């Protein structure tokens, strides 16, 4: 049931709302703005005393007003409130304003709708996993993406496929648009609602057909590419930093990526260290495959046993790479293993390895291996 009140729009209630530290707007039974407190005025870009009025959607210009109004949903479902409705309004000067909105409708005792209160809470868009770090390179990239998002131009992103895709999504969110308006190009505009306009993304080969297509008005195009390429001069070019530049951010980056793939899973610190090294050595495309596999193989927590154990990904190699001289460490480990299997019989061990007994003694001395 919706909230009932005899005088929901009287002066006493309005005074209370004006004392709140949150942005609040009050609508009457015609969904006309009855009152906007000072916090909401500042948030929406209206000065004190500047005239407000008319229906709510004409002032807030929300992207969901026509098709997914939270107030309509509350009334039709009989809910007493709708909380944390994620949407985007637009300020008086046209800037996108991502919000989490709580709507509280109220009715008379006989059930007649009398008005509603909306509480507007700004939300910060998520930067995505590739910009999750705190290094200077990550900070600089975030600022660059925010700047490009505000400019509204189409963008060419140069980097690895997972990074390009992630940054393209962040560019869209920083523009103030809901995630539902971010689309991946499939070769045709069929099935994509042309309005409201959003962001369309394509990577390398797929980009050709996108760039040749007749896109609907207002849509932003973002193209990802491994290398810089010739493209329409209207595009801004965004070169992503290398993983070496983001080396200190890799554990946090990978944790954020795992949270996107499987939000409720935890991960061992040793796993993050190993995955970070894998990212530097093999790149994000191979890492993505490993992450998806590890998520599928684990329950609540990702451990080292959930990572692939073939080839490069063996635990032995990971252990050796921690040594100052991995090749020497490998030779030492092989010699010790063979010697133990042969019961430390020098001649047997030398024959098993395929070297002379003198050479075996010399290698043992160089590597600091003492016979027990």
User: For residues 337 and 216, which has the higher predicted lDDT (pLDDT)?
Assistant: 216
The DSSP line for 41-73 is: HHHHT--TT----SBHHHHH--TTTTT--HHHH
Q: Which long-range contacts (CB under 8 A, 24 or more apart) does 146-153 make?
A: 146/174, 148/236, 148/238, 149/174, 149/175, 149/176, 150/174, 150/175, 151/236, 152/220, 153/220, 153/234, 153/235, 153/236
Residues 100 and 155 in one domain: no
Helical packing angle, 357-367 and 326-341, nearest 10°: 130
Same domain, yes or no, for 18 and 112?
A: yes
Tell me the β-bridge partners of 104: 117
- List, for residues 162-218, the tens digit of each pLDDT value: 999 999 999 998 887 777 789 999 999 998 888 778 899 999 989 999 999 998 988
Q: Are residues 96 and 139 in the same domain?
A: no
Note whether 285 and 255 are same-domain residues.
yes
Q: Are residues 158 and 191 in the same domain?
A: yes
pLDDT at 165 (0 to 100): 96
Averaged pLDDT, 302-325: 67
CATH number where 20 lies: 3.30.450.20
Tokens of 98: 């991502």
Kindly state whether residues 187 and 253 are assigned to the same domain: no
User: Looking at the predicted structure, is the pLDDT value of residue 4 above 50?
Assistant: no
Paired strand residues for 99: 87, 122
pTM: 0.58
- Range(s) of the domain holding residue 27: 3-122
Question: Which H or E element spans position 182?
Answer: strand 182-184
Q: Residue 30 has what pLDDT?
A: 80
Write down the pLDDT at residue 83.
82
For the cut 70, the answer to whether the pLDDT of residue 311 exceeds it is: no
Whether pLDDT at 2 is above 50: no
Percent of the chain at pLDDT exceeding 90: 26
pLDDT given for residue 3 in this prediction:
47
- Residue that wins the pLDDT comparison between 6 and 356: 356
In a domain, 56, yes or no: yes
315-334: average pLDDT? 72
- 153/103 Cα distance (integer angstroms): 34
Last residue within a domain, chosen from 200, 219, 239: 239
Tell me the mean pLDDT in the region 29-48.
78
Look up residue 259 and give its two tokens: 């949270």
Say how far apart CA 219 and CA 196 lie, in whole Å.
Answer: 9
Average confidence (pLDDT) over 228-233: 86
Domain annotation covers residue 372: no
Give the domain-ending residue among 70, 100, 122: 122
Q: Is the pLDDT of residue 316 over 70?
A: no
Residue ending a domain, choose from 239, 262, 278? 239
Q: Residues 225-231: what's their mean pLDDT?
A: 90
Average pLDDT for residues 57-84, to the nearest whole number? Answer: 70
Residue 115 belongs to some domain of the structure: yes
* DSSP H or E stretch at residue 11: helix 11-18
Residue 215: inside a domain, yes or no?
A: yes
Instruction: Please provide the average confidence, as pLDDT, over all residues in the chain.
Output: 82
283 located within any domain: yes
Q: Are residues 292 and 359 in the same domain?
A: no
List, in order, residues 6 or more apart from 195 with CB less than 8 Å away: 216, 218
SS3 label, residue 40: helix
Strands 23-28, 3-4: pairing is unpaired
Both 183 and 259 in one domain: the answer is: no
Q: Is the predicted pLDDT of residue 240 greater than 90, yes or no?
A: yes
Tell me if 275 is assigned to some domain.
Answer: yes
pLDDT of residue 43: 77
CATH label of the domain that carries residue 279: 1.10.8
Q: Do 103 and 145 fall within a single domain?
A: no
Residues 6+ apart with CB under 8 A from 340: none
We report the CATH number of the domain holding residue 336 as 1.10.10
- Chain segment 275-287, per-residue pLDDT in tens: 998 898 889 998 9
Same structural domain, 256 and 355 = no
Other residues' Cβ atoms within 10 Å of the Cβ of residue 66: 10
Q: What sign has the CA pseudo-torsion 285, 289, 294, 296?
A: positive
Query: Average pLDDT in the 36-43 region?
Result: 81
What's the pLDDT band for 1 if we cut at 50, 70, 90?
A: very low
Question: For the chain, what percentages of helix, strand and coil (3-state, to nearest 5) are there?
Answer: 45, 20, 35
Sign of the dihedral through C-alpha 72, 78, 80, 85: negative
CATH of the domain at 167: 3.40.50.300
Band the pLDDT of 241: cuts 50, 70, 90: very high
Is 30 inside a domain boundary? Answer: yes
Check whether residue 275 and residue 256 sit in a common domain: yes
Number of domains in the chain: 4
Half-sphere exposure of 371 (CA within 13 A, CB side): 11
Q: Report if residue 302 sits inside a domain.
A: yes
More confident residue, 126 or 319: 126
Better-predicted residue by pLDDT, 245 or 47: 245
Q: 128-139 pLDDT, tens per residue?
A: 999 998 899 999
Determine the pLDDT at residue 231: 86
Q: Grade residue 33 by pLDDT with cuts at 50, 70 and 90.
A: confident
What pLDDT, in 10s, does the model give residues 73-107? 677 667 777 888 878 787 776 767 778 888 888 87
* Domain co-membership, 15 together with 113: yes
């Amino acid at each position: 049931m919706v909230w009932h009140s005899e005088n929901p729009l009287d002066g006493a209630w309005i005074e209370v709302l004006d004392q709140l530290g949150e942005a609040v707007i009050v609508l009457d039974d015609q969904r006309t703005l009855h009152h906007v407190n000072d916090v909401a005025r500042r948030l929406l870009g209206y000065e004190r005393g500047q005239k407000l009025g008319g229906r709510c959607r004409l002032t807030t210009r929300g992207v969901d007003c026509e098709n997914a109004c939270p107030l309509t949903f509350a009334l039709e479902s009989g809910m007493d409130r709708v909380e944390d409705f994620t949407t985007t309004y637009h300020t008086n000067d046209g800037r996108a304003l991502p919000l989490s909105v709580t709507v509280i409708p109220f009715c008379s005792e006989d059930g007649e709708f009398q008005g509603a209160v909306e509480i507007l809470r700004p939300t910060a868009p998520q930067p995505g996993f590739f910009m999750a770090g705190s290094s200077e390179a990550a900070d600089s990239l975030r600022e660059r993406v925010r700047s490009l998002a505000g400019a509204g131009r189409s963008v060419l992103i140069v980097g690895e496929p997972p990074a390009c895709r992630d940054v393209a999504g962040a560019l869209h969110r920083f523009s103030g648009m809901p995630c539902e308006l971010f689309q991946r190009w499939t070769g045709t505009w069929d099935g994509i609602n042309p309005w409201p306009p959003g962001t369309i993304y394509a990577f390398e080969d797929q980009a050709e057909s996108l760039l040749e297509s007749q896109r609907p008005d207002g849509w932003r195009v973002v193209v990802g590419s491994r290398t810089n390429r010739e493209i329409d001069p209207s595009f801004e070019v965004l070169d992503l930093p290398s993983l070496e530049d983001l080396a200190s951010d890799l554990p946090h980056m990978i944790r954020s990526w795992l949270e996107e793939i499987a939000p409720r899973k935890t991960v061992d610190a040793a796993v993050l260290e190993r995955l970070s090294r894998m990212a530097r050595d093999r790149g994000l495309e191979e890492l993505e495959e490993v992450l998806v596999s590890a998520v599928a193989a684990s329950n609540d927590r990702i451990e080292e046993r959930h990572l692939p154990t073939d080839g490069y990904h063996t635990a032995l190699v990971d252990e050796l790479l921690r040594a100052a001289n991995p090749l020497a460490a490998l030779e030492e480990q092989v010699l010790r293993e063979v010697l133990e299997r042969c019961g430390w019989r020098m001649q047997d061990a030398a024959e098993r390895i395929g070297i002379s007994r003198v050479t075996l003694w010399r290698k043992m001395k160089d590597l600091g291996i003492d016979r027990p």
